[in-house]
Amino acid sequence: MKLTPEQKVHFDREGYLFFPGLFSSEETKTLVDAVPALYARREAYNVREKGSEAVRTNFAAHLYSEPFARLARHPRMVEPVEELLGEKLYMHQYKINGKMAFEGDVWQWHQDYGTWKNDDLMPEARAMNVAIFLDDVNEFNGPLMFIPGSHKEGVIEARHDLTTTSYPLWTLDNDLIRQLVARAGDKHGGIVSPQGPAGSMILFHSCLVHASTSNLSPWNRVSVYLSLCAVSNHIRRHKRPEYIAHRDFTSIKCLPDDCLLKNSPVDLPWKNGMPASALETSIELLTEAA
């Protein structure tokens, strides 16, 4: 999938692109149907909400689930990011975020690259997020919120929040958010929230400031978040477990466009269980980067 000149200009200015209904209902169903079995597993890669059995984030499904392994190699997702970054990509992180009805907690204001820089020593912001809706997203079920143009601020100083939710995050303070929102248009476009049907896709810059509210509605808001990084920009340390920050820097090879419907063959290295090495961490620099 190729981007138009207008889309490239919009991404440079705003920091994101939205593609409503990019994946068909049949394609999306193959992913939706696989989620309950993944969420039911009692594994380290399923992070649950504080005081709840509801899954907040499932990590690394592309390593043990066929439908999500195919999505990880889908050209509609990979090719636009390759075009914007000008390089082959590897999968830095793979999440299925489950903002479940009545139980889905907030994601505080943050930049994803802030975490990747501080925790993983990713050299530059040459990585991008792709969000794919598995449920319809509306104003009530905790949609993503962006501050347009905030990616142009570069890396913003953040604090490590270890207490607000069950997942630690490098977050931004309220005064700074007020300034960024005012600069982006305040009540007239200072915050935007792409909403649409299941199968919609968002690409957004790793420095774009974003957040989402809790889900008090009766509707789930499950989304897949794939973080794609330029191969030359791979992380330089393994401070976090491998199921969170991946260590295979092999470039992604795309499958055919109909891979979600034709069940294209994929490798599943963790099909028989996550290896013990995936839990090992180190604060040492990788040898080649030392």
pLDDT tens-digit map of 217-251? 999 999 999 999 999 999 999 999 999 999 999 99
pLDDT tens-digit map of 254-268? 999 999 999 899 999
CATH no., domain 7-289: 2.60.120.620
pLDDT at 29 over 80: yes
Identify the pLDDT of residue 161.
62
pLDDT at 160 over 80: no
For the ranges 33-42, 98-107, 238-247, the lowest mean pLDDT is seen at 98-107
pLDDT at 1 over 80: yes
Q: How confident is the model at residue 289 (pLDDT cuts 50, 70, 90)?
A: very low
9 alpha-carbon distance from chain centroid: 22
Identify the pLDDT of residue 55.
84
> What is the pLDDT averaged over residues 13-17?
97
When the pLDDT of each residue in the chain is averaged and rounded to a whole number, the result is: 92
Give the chain as a DSSP string. Answer: -PPPHHHHHHHHHHSEEEETT-S-HHHHHHHHTTHHHHHT--STTEEEPTTSSSEEEEE-GGGT-HHHHHHTT-HHHHHHHHHHHTS-EEEEEEEEEEE-TTT---EEEE-HHHHHHHHH---SS-EEEEEEESS-B-TTS--EEE-TTGGGG-SPP-EEE-SSSSS-EEE--HHHHHHHHHHTTTTTTSSB---B-TT-EEEEETT--EEE----SSS-EEEEEEEEEEGGG--SB--S-TTTS----PPP-PPPTTHHHHT-----TTTT---GGGG----SBPGGG-
Domain boundaries, the chain: 7-289
Identify the pLDDT of residue 64.
96
